[in-house]
A and B are shown apart, each in its own frame.
Chain A
Amino acid sequence: MNAVVDFPVKPEARPYLEAFGRDRHRDDPDWLARYRNRGLARFAELGFPSRRSEAWRYLDLRALEQRPMLPAGRRADVVTAGARQQLAEIGFAGPAYRLVLVNGCFAPELSQIEPLPAGMWLASMAATIAERPDLVRSGLEAQSWDTPRPFDSLNLAFFADGFVLDAAPGVVLERPVEIVHLAGDAGASVHTRSLVTVGAGSRASIVESFAGSGDYWRNDVVELRLADHAELARVMLVEEGADALHLDEVAASLGAGARLSSFVLLLGGRTVRHEAAVRSEGERSHCDLNGAFLLSGRQEANILTTVDHAAPGGETRETFKGVATGRAHGAFQGRITVRPGAQKVDAHQLSRNLVLSPRAAIDTKPELEIYADDVKCSHGAAVGDLDEAALFYLRARGIPADEARRVLIEAFAQETLELIEQAPLREHLRARLAQRLATLEE
Chain B
Amino acid sequence: MLEINNLHARPTEGREILRGIDLAVGAGEVHAIMGPNGSGKSTLAAVLAGREGYEVTEGAVTYLGRDLLTMEADERAREGLFLAFQYPVEIPGVNNMYFLRTAINAQRRHRGEPELDAGQFLRIVRAKLKLLNIGEDLLQRAVNVGFSGGEKKRNEIFQMAMLEPRLAILDETDSGLDIDALKLVARGVDQQRASDRAIVMITHYQRLLEYVEPDRVHVLQGGRIVQSGDKTLALEVERRGYGIVEDAA
User: Which A residues lie at the B interface, using CB under 8 A?
Assistant: 387-390, 392-401, 403-404, 407-408, 410-412, 414-415
Contacts and interface: CB of A to CB of B under 8 A. Distances in A.
B89 A407 contact: no
Nearest to B104: A398
Given A398-B77, A399-B106, A408 B89 contact: no
Contacts of A403: 102, 106
Contact of A394 (B83, B90, B99): B99
A408 B91 contact: yes
A392 B102 contact: no
Nearest to B90: A390
B64 to A, nearest CB: 15
Contacts of B73: 392, 395-396
A393 B90 CA distance: 9
A390 B106 contact: no
B108 to A, nearest CB: 10
B93 interface: yes
B115 to A, nearest CB: 13
Contacts of A390: 89-91
Contacts of A395: 50, 72-74, 77
Given A398-B77, A398-B106, A403-B106, A412 B93 contact: yes
Find the residue from A396, A411, A412, A415 having the highest chain B CB count within 10 A. Answer: A396
Contact of A408 (B72, B74, B94, B103): B94
Nearest to A414: B93
B159 interface: yes
Find the residue from B50, B88, B92, B93 having the highest chain A CB count within 10 A. Answer: B93
A398 B83 contact: no
Interface in B126-162: 142-143, 159
A389 B46 CA distance: 12
Nearest to A388: B52
B110 interface: yes
B163 interface: yes
Find the residue from B51, B78, B94 having the highest chain A CB count within 10 A. Answer: B94
A398 B78 contact: yes
Nearest to B77: A398
B211 interface: no
Given A392-B73, A403-B102, A404-B74, A398 B93 contact: no
A31 to B, nearest CB: 51
Interface residues of B, number: 29
Interface string B78-90: 1000010100111
Given A396-B74, A396-B77, A407 B102 contact: yes
A300 B94 CA distance: 28
Contact of B93 (A393, A399, A411): A411
B49 interface: yes
A407 B77 contact: no
11 contacts: A387-B91, A388-B52, A394-B103, A396-B49, A396-B73, A397-B100, A398-B77, A398-B78, A398-B107, A398-B163, A404-B74
B88 A393 contact: yes
Contacts of B88: 393
A397 B159 CA distance: 8
A401 to B, nearest CB: 6
B163 A397 contact: yes
Contacts of B90: 390
Contacts of A387: 89, 91
B109 to A, nearest CB: 9
A393 B72 CA distance: 13
B89 A398 contact: no
Given A396-B73, A401-B74, A407 B106 contact: no
A388 B89 CA distance: 10
B99 A398 contact: no
A398 B92 contact: no
A388 B51 CA distance: 10
Which 7 A-B residue pairings sit nearest by Cβ, starting from the closest? A411-B93, A398-B77, A397-B103, A393-B89, A395-B74, A398-B78, A415-B93
A310 B103 CA distance: 51
B94 A411 contact: yes
A392 B52 contact: yes
Contacts of B49: 396
A370 to B, nearest CB: 30
B72 to A, nearest CB: 7
A260 B165 CA distance: 51
A114 B175 CA distance: 64
A408 to B, nearest CB: 7
B91 A393 contact: yes
